[in-house]
Structure 1
């Protein structure tokens, strides 16, 4: 059983990652959600976190509001792919979950102190809150069991030819986290998330399943699909953050390699995660494990079976058809 804190900037794929994590109480115990500026501004991100928990009946999970700006400089919101409200412009009841008085950083430090070497962090947005906690408490790093994050890329970015959004949005924070000395960091980057593509047929299955949850996912991905078509002429959408949650439920979905990762904070390559596989770069000391491949069929079977168990056979048949060559 993993006891996790999800640090998030919801965000369409953040919402789907949270919903998947909630659907696996036999594998994951969610201690709290902490919110961060990223896919949308901090107020929308916090409201969305509350709304997602309300949707899946988990109003018992507390929400802590985090920073509204990167460690340095001003935020550059990437709203076009996620709609103006971060959830594809879908209106959703925020449930009025009481916002905790502590800030996200204060909570992270306290929770780590009270649960030494027990908590796993699942950051699926910019690493601003995690870096803030590192700077706030010198013992924070050694009190955390591990970090499983979505961010970075070894070979190709989405905000520049080399930089992925979460690291690009706050590269200083990413640098602090990777240099802090955490016991274990698993970096789930674009090299594998690009293979997690919700096809039109799978999205239609969500519509046909016709539950409040499947309908919500179908609705919020509309603007995401439109964005992928406009930019790339691809039908469907990538589910980046979902992979972090899936790995914590079933670590066999990912193949990992030991690496040293360095973050560039300025210039043409701002936000780039420079990945040195230690098998090749033997002079480098490992500071993380980097996802290098995945079992995409296992991932999507997990996605549908955990959230829509009554439809797992239909989903399995469709997944086999959509990914028959993998």
Structure 2
């Protein structure tokens, strides 16, 4: 039976690839809905990006708009990496879909309450929507199987020396989620920077079918920022949160107690892990630390090939 999931995202180049990866494996992952939150760009732009992406692959998945700003303060966007649209690169046609009228919290609540199986949440964005859900309706924790999130990093950050973007944008929300008691798997920078696609692989994508070409164009733009920051290749951050659900054996991990710093002048947004031999609290997070990059890339290429073939068959049918 496919695992029922809700993807909470802010597309975002790597968010888009994470959605594609999940959709390619509908036999394993049942995407009950997608929620959007202000992050890589403002809410309206990233919601439009989500709908355009789904329209491009003919995926009629309900999408609900969520929080436009963090719990406290103003939104910090990732425009430097993701561009003015939040997903610069390919020119996707206008969407034939529209978001549902419900807001993200009510949308998630209804899915979770009505589901016979427990739901897995997959946030690849600031954790504002998830924190609002858990704060307003704490009883839903009993019906959430786990949270597989992209965010944080034990060794370093990417917005500051200590804070990764998704956590930095809304550290108060992240702290609520990490301290919720729900089992968490954290795909942080420790692993996602190792899941990098190199230039030759991006070029290979652009020689394949329509979905692969579109992803290659996404990565052409996304890799520009990575090169400026001194990286070789383009880290596929958000797809790790999906790939772990599909093939956890690709990853190495350590179970740790993790929380989020919200007050430190130099450390606000830092994911703090207790790695002592005798920590004060039991582990609440499985922190991914390593990945078989070659197997990860094979999973990505094979998944995009599935979607290429589906889209081509659909075009032939019309």
| TM-score of Structure 1 vs Structure 2, range by shorter chain | over 0.9
Give the alignment's TM-score, normalised by structure 1: 0.90
- What's the counterpart of residue 149 of structure 1? 149
SS of alignment partner, residue 269 of structure 1 = coil
Shift of 1:302: 0.7
Q: Which moved more, 1:84-93 or 1:6-15?
A: 84-93
Distance 1:108 1:309 in 2: 28
State the SS of the aligned residue for 1:299. helix
In structure 2, relative to structure 1, the CA distance for the partners of 1:218 and 1:200 (3 Å cut) is: same
C-alpha displacement of 1:310: 11
Q: What are the equivalent positions in structure 2 for 1:1-326 lying under 5 Å apart?
A: 1-59=2-60, 61-115=61-115, 118-182=118-182, 184-209=183-208, 211-232=209-230, 234-266=231-263, 267-277=265-275, 280-308=277-305
User: Secondary structure, in 3 states, of the residue corresponding to 1:76?
Assistant: coil
Q: Which runs of 5+ in 1 are unaligned?
A: 312-326
Check the 8 A contact 2:24/2:307 in 1, yes or no: no
Deviation readout 1:217-259 (Å, 9 max, x if unpaired): 1111222111122221x34211100111111111111122111
Aligned-partner SS, 1:130:
helix
Distance 1:133 1:208, change over 3 A: same
Per-residue CA shift, 1:79-138, capped at 9, x if unaligned? 011111011253312423121111001111222222265110000000000000011112
TM-score (norm 2): 0.92
State the number of aligned residues.
Answer: 306
Gap regions ≥5 residues in structure 2: 309-318
Runs ≥4 residues deviating over 6 A: none
For residue 180 of structure 1, report the CA deviation from its aligned partner.
Answer: 1.4
Rounded Cα–Cα distance in structure 2 between residues aligned with 1:159 and 1:53: 29
User: Is the 1:36–1:65 contact (alpha carbons within 8 Å) kept by the matching residues of 2?
Assistant: yes
The 2-side partners of 1:117 and 1:283 are apart by: 33
RMSD of the alignment, in Å?
1.6
* d(CA) in 1 for partners of 2:47, 2:307: 32
Partner Cα distance (1:256, 1:159) in 2: 24
